[in-house]
């Protein structure tokens, strides 16, 4: 009898530990799964992410994209084990801002907010626990804990696909990586919350994810202009002088970034102006505004004992300090209130346009240890995983109160903050890795800039500048080097050309960001998200020295050095020392951006650009709305004249976005899409047309001309 | 009333979570601390570590070495937070087999068994959670979980030492690493077990730790001879031919290592001889034994479906496979029994002398994921942290049953396995890092060999060979390269010289290992454990490019390229490309090993050895018992004649260890210490004397001569 009871109890316990995930459809193609007892505080709750419900509701209904019976959840050793099936030849992308890899299958990632350390091991600025499958679905684990992902590495005894056992002694086809049929995730809590996003293709799944997190960020127009961050100890006078220099050089400039020296104390921070270097900040802001230039301020969140808020905020700070400054509990209403008060009074109310939120990522020895305690009750780990998100939310909310969009920088983010208008940057500087991060940013709902800081040669300066203008934030960060765009005279003209090109492309870029917000389509994204892109995904065993790699890993080639900038532009950067490179073109005809000439179709070509240009190609039928080069984005109410380029042969249409470029009124409907149509007339000649401006909506478009690059 | 109850309950809960550690003295200078609910399965329980109680009891009583009030334990977020105070200028050593650093203060280590990955971040073959302080005490956290150590990095608001807050904007003395006064440890369980070891100096604390874990390993004499591992697909005939070649070349050889090809299947393993390559293993063993050569066999634990034990052991294997082989639960009595049976029948019973236990470390994508389940009930994490220990225990126990000592290799170990006769090795190959690992091995109770595999030049071959003969295992691992000691003819004579020197030093090395076992003194250890060693421990801020290191880390020099080999020998390796180097000598007179010449006292000297020698120095009064060069260690019962060298001027004494060199009879008292005394006679001349052999104890010493190197 005792045995029977014991047996029944065991059965119950096992049943409880292997309870299935409870799935609930949230929107067409969006399911929420709950297992056990998930944390209350999560990535999505930290971000306050609110889905774009109306848009999501209108999406096409899709089946649950995985065989539900093969999605497994189990409590093991007090932690939640999640398993999602993989098929052969299925590739996985995402899982955070990786700098060296695009293909994540076969990787093990310990997702942990940190400054990137040189290896794609999960420690990165935005270790987003969202992955996208080549089969067209995405999976998000909504947890603010440190998560371990085994992306098709573990092989279970009871796996469906039988093991192909080989004898390494004699079988040359022995593979050190046996086939694995699942993504396995370990969540160190007694439950978890999962979201599955379906789609007709991977990009479609990503769009659902972005929409679910509130849509992508829509920057103010000025945020997409050019920005220069000045040397850290600049004074107000030096800033004014800098602006004048930009004017003299005829170089575009929309906002200047002030580095730590604007504060009276930094590391840790006072959050108040240094009276010596900035005796009259309000006057400075106004003077710059009159010249069409805004100001962005560097800060980190660590509070100096000499800050005016230091005493008041102390009860709402963590147990440990960072650079001897207290750590405000950004999850605590009082800490937020006090800090927000200081930021408002001292900076936002006088017209500062944004922040660069530094050092919210790592390293471990700078920030608080995992066991640090915070008054709001979340753990040191949860705070680490969401501190960048909380900092973005706090500052962004202050601008929302002013009905003014901001655009800034941050060094850590996570899932749910997709709609936050901040761009990630870091202290690393490998140009190749910077581009791979840009490629990956589109998978995880973050923005990344391959900022330009210094260079050893003019060639390097140009190459870096060329990619930063094809990125979310066109920036030179001269906090230390003091370099100017024209610091390398031998390439100064070419650098200016690209800064001007950035301004000319503004209507296109702004519309692509609008699509990020309204449709969830990331403006900078990987080639694999393009229809008809083959890539080079064949694994091949290279001859390797057994001494250094005794396990003969199969090397999987992936495309990490070219990306899509918006719907039509394919950017294939050249790095220092290169004058030529291979470019992989997706299926369809592609055309040179500069000349309009046809270059290829679904093949690998060799780019040998003239004039040290960066190779850029345009999809057939590409419609690129451009404007004339200018020093600053249009002022409020100003109309700009457009030149709309068409490339290739195809007919097509493009929705051009229009709003006031400054406020949040678009959230209440103060925007419009102007429909551009390219069609062949009766004689077979391409003709362009744009719909009339919408009544009672912001209209910033003047005259419209069409330029047919294909003729 | 409700409020009062709530308050009282809160008070109780807080009290419970901040309960002090319960300390109990185990032996003089050894305390066990218990907090909360520690795991039942721990590092010490996995190793079955049994203290050398009699020796420990006789040690001098010492005070608890830390201010108990400052040792803190607290339950935070379901995990145990431990804190141990640090003083200014206190340095911390240990915390595992690190390859690039000796000083651990300021480091953050996530202790995790893994193949070393190129960075001292806690992932290493023996991530031993034991640290030693320069103030002369050690702390062990006895947990088989992944532990996070913040070794003087976290700064608490309530720290005793007030923060020195500086403004980075203007203060050039700003330091990116504020002063931290504690070691903080996070143990992911609701309790922990801690051991504190006191001592009059750091070495004394280490000795207590080693004795507490059973004393260090005492290898069989033959284990300290020379060993050659042959190419993986060698046949029995090729092995015999190899032995003959060694004889022809007059090159020492005590055991040969067979690599995976001895098995019929490998990766995963069959654990049975390949009939084609080894038709008669028992005959081979005997033939080699007649020539004074033993055999060691490579294996990893992963079981091929074609292994004779595969079916029987399947119910006692883990949920996941490794290289498509099942993973025996080495914590399960049935798995152990079945595997032990196969090893005994097939290998040990026919006279195989030991194993090389491979791939019990990592990488993560080879081994099982953390959530893997094992029938014995320990977690995938606990299994990972102790698998190497369990494998050592299993094989060592089989040799104990035969009353024969073994000496082998293993690629993972941990605290508690200090008495296991296995030497760690890996696939890495930086010679400098290999030496640093050797330096660190003495802190954590493990043995490490900087094995020689291949080389690009004869110079490299010689340099690597010179250090491996001054290490626990003098080995060439030619599993892939097939190199022989004489493969580089230009250095063949010098290589042979050092192999012979290894054999000549056998009496000294064997006695030093005996001291490891009986006294806990690690035979290979860091310079900082020498009395009167100053080192170079001043932190200095270097001029660094702000762009690449914006936080201006203070660089702390440490000595990681020279070590002590036993009580008297200081080894200062030269690396490829070097013909000269600096050597730091501790206080006291030091003498050149080869010539006996005085070289310096408590200073930095420049070594410029002749004949491409490796710089080796001897402490004043150093007594080095040596024998004549030989091809194999003495056979059972064979007596060897000693030449006992004395260096310098000092009088002194040395305990020379003697036993049968083969069995475990020494554990029952079948050993003796022969006391060697060097004294000046009436005329002031040094004279040497050795005590008579003990009655009824093994006596392997023939004639004894003294050589006075200082005269």
A365–B454: do the CB atoms touch at under 8 Å? no
Measure the N-to-C terminal CA separation of chain A; round to a whole number of Å: 90
Mean pLDDT of A406-411: 98
Residues on chain A touching B106 (C-beta within 8 angstroms): 365
Quick one: angle between helices B431-444 and B458-468, nearest 10?
Answer: 10
B155–A366: do the CB atoms touch at under 8 Å? no
A274–B169: do the CB atoms touch at under 8 Å? yes
Residues on chain A touching B325 (C-beta within 8 angstroms): 165
Q: What is the pLDDT of residue A614?
A: 98
Q: What is the pLDDT of residue B539?
A: 39
Q: Which tens digits make up the pLDDT trace of B598-654?
A: 999 999 999 999 999 999 999 999 999 999 999 999 998 899 999 999 999 999 999
**Residues B201 and B251 grouped into a single domain:** no
Chain A: nearest CA to B525, how far in angstroms? 28
Q: Which residues pair with B600 in a beta bridge?
A: B590
**CB B185 within 8 Å of CB B148:** yes
Residues on chain B touching A156 (C-beta within 8 angstroms): 319-321
Q: Which tens digits make up the pLDDT trace of A600-637?
A: 999 999 999 999 999 999 999 999 999 999 999 999 88
Measure the N-to-C terminal CA separation of chain B; round to a whole number of Å: 90
Count of other CB atoms within 10 angstroms of residue A532:
10
With 0-12 CB in 10 A as exposed, 13-18 as middle and 19+ as buried, what is A208? Answer: buried
List the single residue in A with minimal CA-CA distance to B83.
Answer: A371
Q: What is the pLDDT of residue A536?
A: 47
Q: Is residue A302 part of a domain?
A: yes
Beta strands A108-113 and A123-124, pairing class: parallel
Tell me which of A72, A369, A372, A425 to substitute to probe the interface with B (most B C-beta atoms closer than 10 Å). A369
Residues on chain A touching B371 (C-beta within 8 angstroms): 76-77, 79, 81, 184, 186
Eight-class DSSP state of A608:
-
Count of other CB atoms within 10 angstroms of residue A58:
10
**CB B410 within 8 Å of CB B424:** yes
The alpha carbon torsion through B705, B708, B709, B711 (nearest 10 deg) reads -150
Indicate whether B488 pLDDT > 60. yes
**Residues B192 and B234 grouped into a single domain:** no
Residues on chain A touching B275 (C-beta within 8 angstroms): none
Mean pLDDT of A464-477: 98
**Residues B206 and B253 grouped into a single domain:** no
Residues on chain B touching A263 (C-beta within 8 angstroms): 169
- What confidence category does residue B15 fall into, taking pLDDT thresholds of 50, 70 and 90? low
Q: What is the CA radius of gyration of chain A?
A: 26
Mean pLDDT of A540-568: 67
Indicate whether B51 pLDDT > 90. yes
**Residues A287 and A416 grouped into a single domain:** yes
Q: What is the pLDDT of residue A506?
A: 98
Q: Pick the last residue of a domain from B151, B183, B213.
A: B213
**Which of the residue ranges A534-538, B33-37, B224-228, B444-448 would you say has the lowest mean pLDDT?**
A534-538
Give percent of chain B with pLDDT exceeding 70: 94
Chain B: nearest CA to A148, how far in angstroms? 9
Give percent of chain A with pLDDT exceeding 70: 94
Q: Which tens digits make up the pLDDT trace of B688-704?
A: 999 999 999 999 999 99
- What confidence category does residue B541 fall into, taking pLDDT thresholds of 50, 70 and 90? very low
Chain A: nearest CA to B78, how far in angstroms? 10
Indicate whether B536 pLDDT > 90. no
B324–A165: do the CB atoms touch at under 8 Å? yes
With 0-12 CB in 10 A as exposed, 13-18 as middle and 19+ as buried, what is A336? Answer: buried
**CB A212 within 8 Å of CB A49:** yes
- Could you give the CA distance from residue B596 to residue A148 in angstroms, rounded to a whole number? 57
Indicate whether A546 pLDDT > 80. no
A480–B550: do the CB atoms touch at under 8 Å? yes
- Could you give the CA distance from residue B346 to residue A695 in angstroms, rounded to a whole number? 90
Interface size A-B, in CB pairs within 8 Å, comes to 187
**Residues B186 and B56 grouped into a single domain:** yes
A157–B305: do the CB atoms touch at under 8 Å? no
The alpha carbon torsion through A196, A198, A201, A206 (nearest 10 deg) reads -50
Comparing CA positions, the residue from A148, A149, A212, A565 lying closest to residue A417 is: A212
- Could you give the CA distance from residue A597 to residue A590 in angstroms, rounded to a whole number? 8
**CB B65 within 8 Å of CB B196:** yes
List the single residue in B with minimal CA-CA distance to A545.
Answer: B480
Mean pLDDT of B166-182: 96
Q: What is the pLDDT of residue B555?
A: 43
Q: Pick the last residue of a domain from B478, B502, B518.
A: B518
**CB A387 within 8 Å of CB A411:** no
Chain B: nearest CA to A364, how far in angstroms? 7
Beta strands A589-592 and A182-187, pairing class: unpaired
- b or e along A304-315 (b: 16 or more beta carbons within 10 Å of the residue's beta carbon)? bbebbbbebbee
Beta strand residue intervals within A87-225, DSSP E? 92-94, 108-113, 123-124, 130-133, 137-141, 147-151, 155-156, 182-187, 191-198
- The label of the residue with tokens 């030449």 reads B643
Q: What is the pLDDT of residue B194?
A: 98
**Residues A232 and A194 grouped into a single domain:** no
A154–B368: do the CB atoms touch at under 8 Å? yes
**Which of the residue ranges A239-248, A535-544, B282-291, B613-622 would you say has the lowest mean pLDDT?**
A535-544
Q: Is A551 helix (H, G, I), strand (E, B) or coil?
A: coil
- What confidence category does residue A20 fall into, taking pLDDT thresholds of 50, 70 and 90? confident
Residues on chain B touching A111 (C-beta within 8 angstroms): none
Q: How far is CA B523 from CA B618, B643, B674, in A?
A: 15, 21, 19
A268–B305: do the CB atoms touch at under 8 Å? no
- The label of the residue with tokens 């065993």 reads A541
Chain A: nearest CA to B369, how far in angstroms? 6
- Could you give the CA distance from residue A203 to residue A473 in angstroms, rounded to a whole number? 23
**Residues B209 and B260 grouped into a single domain:** no
- Could you give the CA distance from residue A92 to residue A104 in angstroms, rounded to a whole number? 5
Chain A: nearest CA to B86, how far in angstroms? 16
Q: Is residue A92 part of a domain?
A: yes
- Could you give the CA distance from residue B171 to residue B74 in angstroms, rounded to a whole number? 37
What is the domain-level CATH number for residue A79? 2.60.40.1760
Chain A: nearest CA to B318, how far in angstroms? 8
- b or e along B450-471 (b: 16 or more beta carbons within 10 Å of the residue's beta carbon)? bbbbbbeebbbbbbbbbbbbbb
- What confidence category does residue A161 fall into, taking pLDDT thresholds of 50, 70 and 90? confident
Give percent of chain B with pLDDT exceeding 90: 91
Domain region containing A404: 221-518
The HSE-up count of residue B621 (CA atoms within 13 Å, CB side) is: 12
**Residues B339 and B471 grouped into a single domain:** yes
- Could you give the CA distance from residue B695 to residue B711 in angstroms, rounded to a whole number? 35
**Residues B101 and B246 grouped into a single domain:** no
A371–B81: do the CB atoms touch at under 8 Å? yes
Q: Given the cut 0.90, state whether the ipTM is greater than it.
A: yes
Q: Is residue A456 part of a domain?
A: yes
- What confidence category does residue A350 fall into, taking pLDDT thresholds of 50, 70 and 90? very high
Residues on chain B touching A322 (C-beta within 8 angstroms): 155
Using alpha carbons only, what angle is made at residue B369 by residues A541 and A557, rounded to the nearest 5 degrees?
Answer: 25
Quick one: angle between helices B492-504 and B506-519, nearest 10?
Answer: 50
Q: What is the pLDDT of residue A251?
A: 97
**CB A271 within 8 Å of CB A282:** no
Indicate whether A483 pLDDT > 50. yes
Q: Is B526 helix (H, G, I), strand (E, B) or coil?
A: strand
Q: Is residue B124 part of a domain?
A: yes
Q: What is the pLDDT of residue B162?
A: 82
A365–B305: do the CB atoms touch at under 8 Å? no
Q: Which residues pair with A372 in a beta bridge?
A: none
What is the domain-level CATH number for residue A666? 2.60.40.1180
Q: Is A162 helix (H, G, I), strand (E, B) or coil?
A: coil
With 0-12 CB in 10 A as exposed, 13-18 as middle and 19+ as buried, what is B687? Answer: middle
**Residues B127 and B228 grouped into a single domain:** no
Transcribe A661-689 into DSSP letters: SSSSGGGGT--EEEEEEEEE-TTS-EEEE
- The label of the residue with tokens 């290998």 reads B347
Q: What is the pLDDT of residue A542?
A: 43
List the single residue in B with minimal CA-CA distance to A163.
Answer: B324
**Residues B503 and B487 grouped into a single domain:** yes
List the single residue in A with minimal CA-CA distance to B158.
Answer: A319
Q: Is residue B130 part of a domain?
A: yes
**CB A59 within 8 Å of CB A91:** no
Q: How far is CA B421 from CA A398, B347, B383, B548, in A?
A: 65, 18, 21, 45
What is the domain-level CATH number for residue A295? 3.20.20.80
Query: What are A175's two structure tokens?
Result: 């593979």
Cα B431 from chain centre: 17
Indicate whether B540 pLDDT > 70. no
Q: What is the pLDDT of residue A17?
A: 54
- Could you give the CA distance from residue B320 to residue B374 in angstroms, rounded to a whole number? 9
Q: Is A252 helix (H, G, I), strand (E, B) or coil?
A: coil
Task: Assign 3-class secondary structure to B528-547.
Answer: HHCCCCCCCCCEECCCCCCC
Comparing CA positions, the residue from B189, B179, B115 lying closest to residue B147 is: B189
Q: Which tens digits make up the pLDDT trace of A416-429?
A: 999 999 999 999 99
**CB A269 within 8 Å of CB A343:** no
Q: What is the pLDDT of residue A540?
A: 38
Beta strands A623-627 and A640-646, pairing class: antiparallel
Q: Is residue A563 part of a domain?
A: no
- Could you give the CA distance from residue A257 to residue B147 in angstroms, rounded to a whole number? 41
Count of other CB atoms within 10 angstroms of residue B501:
20
B186–A371: do the CB atoms touch at under 8 Å? yes
Indicate whether B48 pLDDT > 60. yes
- Could you give the CA distance from residue B406 to residue A697 in angstroms, rounded to a whole number? 86
List the single residue in B with minimal CA-CA distance to A429.
Answer: B548
Q: Is residue A596 part of a domain?
A: no
A547–B325: do the CB atoms touch at under 8 Å? no
- What confidence category does residue A555 fall into, taking pLDDT thresholds of 50, 70 and 90? very low
Chain B: nearest CA to A40, how far in angstroms? 14
**CB B381 within 8 Å of CB A77:** yes
Comparing CA positions, the residue from A132, A140, A126 lying closest to residue A92 is: A132
**Residues A266 and A124 grouped into a single domain:** no
Residues on chain A touching B480 (C-beta within 8 angstroms): 546-547, 550
Q: Pick the last residue of a domain from A472, A496, A518.
A: A518
The total number of structural domains in chain A stands at 3
**CB A288 within 8 Å of CB A300:** no
The alpha carbon torsion through B605, B606, B608, B612 (nearest 10 deg) reads 90
Q: Which tens digits make up the pLDDT trace of B292-345?
A: 999 999 999 999 999 999 999 999 999 999 999 999 999 999 999 999 999 999
Q: Is residue B571 part of a domain?
A: no
Chain A: nearest CA to B474, how far in angstroms? 19
Indicate whether A220 pLDDT > 50. yes
Indicate whether A532 pLDDT > 90. no
- What confidence category does residue B680 fall into, taking pLDDT thresholds of 50, 70 and 90? very high
The HSE-up count of residue A345 (CA atoms within 13 Å, CB side) is: 10
């Amino acid at each position: 009898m005792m045995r029977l009871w014991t047996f029944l109890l065991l059965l119950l316990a096992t049943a409880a530990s292997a309870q299935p995930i409870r799935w609930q459809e949230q929107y067409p193609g969006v399911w929420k799964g709950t297992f056990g007892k998930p944390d209350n505080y999560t990535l999505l709750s930290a971000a306050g992410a609110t889905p774009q419900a109306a848009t999501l509701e209108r999406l096409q209904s899709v089946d649950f994209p995985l065989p539900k019976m093969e999605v497994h959840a189990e409590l093991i050793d007090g932690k939640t084990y999640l398993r999602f099936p993989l098929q052969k030849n299925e590739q996985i992308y995402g899982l955070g801002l990786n700098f060296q890899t695009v293909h994540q299958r076969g990787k093990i990632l310990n997702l942990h907010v940190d400054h990137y350390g040189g290896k794609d091991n999960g420690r990165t600025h935005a270790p987003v626990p969202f992955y996208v499958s080549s089969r067209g679905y995405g999976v998000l684990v909504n947890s603010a804990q440190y998560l371990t992902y085994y992306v098709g590495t573990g092989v279970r005894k009871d796996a469906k696909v039988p093991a192909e056992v080989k004898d390494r002694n004699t079988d040359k086809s022995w593979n050190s990586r046996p086939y694995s049929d699942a993504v396995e995730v370990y969540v160190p809590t007694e439950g978890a919350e999962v979201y599955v996003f379906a789609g007709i293709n991977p990009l479609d799944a990503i769009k659902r994810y972005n929409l679910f997190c509130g849509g992508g960020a829509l920057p103010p127009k000025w945020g997409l202009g050019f920005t220069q961050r000045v040397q850290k100890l600049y004074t107000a006078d030096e800033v004014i002088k800098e602006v004048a220099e930009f004017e003299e050089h005829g170089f575009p400039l929309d906002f200047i970034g002030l580095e730590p020296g604007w504060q009276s104390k930094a590391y840790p921070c006072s959050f108040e102006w240094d009276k010596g270097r900035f005796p009259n900040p309000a006057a400075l802001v106004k003077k710059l505004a009159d010249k069409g230039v805004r100001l962005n301020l560097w800060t980190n969140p660590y509070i100096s004992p000499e800050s005016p808020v230091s005493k008041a905020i102390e009860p709402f700070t963590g147990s440990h300090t960072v650079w001897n400054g207290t750590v405000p509990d950004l999850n605590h209403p009082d800490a937020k209130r006090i800090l927000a008060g200081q930021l408002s009074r001292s900076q936002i109310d006088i017209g500062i346009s944004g922040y660069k939120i530094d050092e919210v990522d790592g390293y471990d020895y700078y920030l608080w240890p995992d066991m640090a305690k915070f008054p709001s009750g979340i753990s040191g780990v949860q705070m680490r995983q969401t501190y960048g998100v909380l900092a973005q939310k706090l500052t962004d909310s202050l601008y929302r109160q002013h009905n003014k969009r901001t655009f800034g920088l941050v060094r850590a983010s996570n899932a749910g903050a997709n709609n936050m208008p901040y761009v990630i940057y870091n202290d690393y500087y490998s140009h190749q890795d910077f581009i791979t991060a840009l490629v990956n940013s589109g998978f995880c709902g973050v923005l990344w800039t391959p900022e330009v800081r210094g260079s050893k040669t003019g060639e390097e300066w140009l190459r870096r500048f060329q990619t930063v203008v094809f990125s979310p934030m066109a920036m030179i960060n001269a906090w230390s080097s003091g370099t100017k765009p024209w610091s390398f005279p031998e390439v100064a003209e070419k650098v200016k050309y690209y800064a001007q090109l950035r301004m000319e492309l503004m209507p296109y870029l702004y519309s692509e960001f609008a699509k990020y917000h309204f449709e969830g389509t990331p403006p900078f994204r990987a080639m694999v998200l393009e229809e008809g892109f083959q890539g080079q995904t064949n694994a091949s065993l290279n001859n390797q020295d057994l001494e250094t790699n005794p396990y003969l890993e199969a090397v999987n080639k992936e495309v990490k050095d070219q990306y899509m900038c918006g719907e039509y532009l394919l950017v294939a950067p050249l790095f220092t020392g290169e004058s030529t490179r291979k470019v992989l073109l997706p299926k369809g005809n592609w055309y040179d951006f500069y000349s309009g000439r046809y270059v290829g179709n679904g093949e690998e070509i060799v780019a040998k650009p003239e004039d040290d240009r960066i190779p850029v190609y345009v999809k057939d039928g590409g419609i690129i709305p451009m404007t004339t080069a200018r020093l600053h984005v249009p002022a409020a109410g100003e109309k700009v004249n457009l030149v709309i380029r068409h490339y290739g042969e195809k007919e097509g249409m493009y929705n051009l976005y229009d709003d006031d470029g400054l406020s949040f009124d678009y959230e209440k409907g103060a925007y419009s899409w102007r429909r551009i149509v390219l069609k062949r007339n009766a004689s077979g000649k391409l003709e362009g047309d744009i719909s009339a401006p919408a009544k009672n909506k912001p209209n910033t478009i003047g005259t419209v001309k069409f330029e047919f690059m294909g003729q």
